[in-house]
Amino acid sequence: MENIRNKVFLNSLSEDVEENMLEIRDLTKKEALGLLLAGDEFEENVEHYKNLNKGIDFLLNAMANDENIAIQVDSDADGYFSGALVYQVIYDDFEYENVTFILNEGREHGFQLRNLDALIENDIKLLIIPDGGSTDTKPLQALTDKGIKVLILDHHIIEIGEGLKGIEENVALINNQDGSVENIYLSGCGVSYKFCKELVECCDGTIGNKYLDLVATSLISDMCDMKYSYENRYYLNIGSKISNVTNPFLIEMARSMKKSKKDKFTIEDFGFGIAPIINATIRLGKKEDKENLFNALIGVDELIPHRGKAISYPSKARLVGANFQKKQREGKVKIAEMVKEEIKEEDLQKNTVIIYIDREEKIDKSLRGLICNQLLDFYERPILLGGVDKNGFIRGSARGYGEQMNFKSICEKTGLFEYTNGHDNAFGFSIKEDKIKEFLEYANKNIIIKEKSINVEKIYDEFVPKDDVKKIVSYENLWSHDIKPPLYLIKNAIFKVGDIKKIGNSTYEFENKDIKITKYFCSKKAFEELVEEKQDDDYVTLDALVEFRYKFGRKIIIKDWEKIK
């Protein structure tokens, strides 16, 4: 990054690094420690959930009558965790075998009507939809018309309220967005857990913490709120402990990460180590790969071929998922470079919003969102990326720029879009191609892109005191989607070239005043540019943007640097 100092904004409310960090995040020390230590006193009473008993009756009656049950698995990590949890409770805890699962193609969400005939042929009497089912009444109407009851365990905004009239007798909608639940931030897997826990207890059993490893992973993979929900924090605190991990796939992930029983999965482990493997398989995998993944999550205890060997389903899912993740990472970089060239050729960057139309279908639909993220970082303005269908609609992924922007709302206000579905700054869209010019005119006139500054919480000259690092790393488990880790600037940090050590494929370790400073994901080219024409006895001087982390001991992590001399 060029001119780091010129882009830095010092966000300083207190001289003390700890007080400053807490004040900026609008947290007291008591509140921060409360989140880190949240216990079962914060678990919300399940009686707050409407239709809970109705849903339990649906499921118990289906099992009592020996009816066939199907689980619709939604196409993301939370969906797979939710589906696996419900399946395991039915198959393992209740030892009920007449249960199956449905996996969608690609990234489709919810029950697809084309699967209805298969349900009828297999005499399915109850369909369970974890992490979905609250947005579209057409599938529910079709299912209930064929005598199939539906149990929904969801956390998305409810859009089917009025549509349930006439079929409500055969639909049990359990959703934490129904107005009666305090924790509106829970994941789909979390809602499924609360239902299943009550289900088992109704039958004089208990599941205790058995499935909280899945819940904890889902909270991070689905970027659920971890600042205002103490219940979410409680589930994370319990479910992240390796000693509480029972899911076979997560046990395999813990083994591959070299975790001991005394360790925990960190939020970074969940968000950058486990969830990407699941999502990459869902995005790029074939039907067989997705089935293998789900079998790994539900604990199918069989061996499966892999490169001439017989291995377990969890091992297969991890290895295949990691390979998909690598392909996805390499593919998105390559595609993003191709798109950048075309944007330059067509001079699309002259507009406040960049709209790229993939007319030749060069980009796999499952990668559109990832490519948008790549372009967003490069162009620092909103992005619309999609293909054209036979009816002249451009459909694809959109990304807004900057924390203060609500790009989805901006698009909706124009009245030009067929739909915008998703989050404020990450959503799917559809717009008629002949409306593009009008939208760009609106965007160029009404959207102001502010240059993004780099917020740092303290600026150090040459070195960082150990006490400051010690104060901040004690809060490391606090950092999440909602509570960003603090960033700092070290000006004029001086390092002896001969003391810089390579400790991994792309990891380098520096030393500054007895404090270890590490740069992860550093390319060979970047390192060579840093030390070019210098000998071991020479020194290099940097401006470095850093975080304080506990990983492998208290140390400083370099997020970006600029060579001074």
C-alpha pair distances (Å), 119 with each of 123, 129, 303, 553: 6, 14, 29, 54
* Helices vs strands, H then E, count in the chain: 20, 21
C-alpha pair distances (Å), 491 with each of 20, 461, 464, 471, 563: 20, 5, 10, 21, 10
Question: Is the Cβ–Cβ distance between 293 and 275 less than 8 Å?
Answer: no
CA dist 469 and 466 (Å) reads 5
Return the amino acid letter for 162. Answer: E
CA dist 82 and 235 (Å) reads 15
To which H or E segment does residue 546 belong?
strand 539-549
Give the closest residue to 164 by CA, choosing from 102, 116, 175: 175
CA dist 431 and 269 (Å) reads 38
**302-326 per-residue burial string, b: 16 or more CB within 10 A, e: under 16:** eebeeeeeeebbbbbbbbbbbbbbe
pTM over the 0.85 mark = yes
Half-sphere exposure of 296 (CA within 13 A, CB side): 27
CA dist 199 and 203 (Å) reads 7
Give the closest residue to 464 by CA, choosing from 520, 509, 517, 500: 517
1 token code pair? 């990054």
Question: Is the Cβ–Cβ distance between 316 and 337 less than 8 Å?
Answer: no
C-alpha pair distances (Å), 489 with each of 397, 462, 553, 563: 34, 10, 21, 13
Tens digit of each residue's pLDDT, the chain (565 residues): 567 887 888 888 899 999 999 999 999 999 999 999 999 999 999 999 999 999 999 999 999 999 999 999 998 999 999 999 999 999 999 999 999 999 987 677 778 888 899 999 999 999 999 999 888 888 999 999 999 999 999 999 888 878 788 898 999 999 999 999 999 999 999 999 999 999 999 999 999 899 999 999 999 999 999 999 999 999 999 999 999 999 999 999 999 999 999 999 999 999 999 999 999 999 889 999 999 999 999 999 999 999 999 999 999 999 999 999 998 888 888 888 999 999 999 999 999 999 999 988 888 887 888 889 889 888 889 999 999 988 899 999 999 987 678 899 999 999 999 999 877 888 899 999 999 999 999 999 998 877 777 889 999 998 888 899 999 999 989 999 889 999 999 998 888 888 888 887 888 888 766 677 888 888 888 888 888 878 888 888 889 899 998 765 668 888 888 888 7
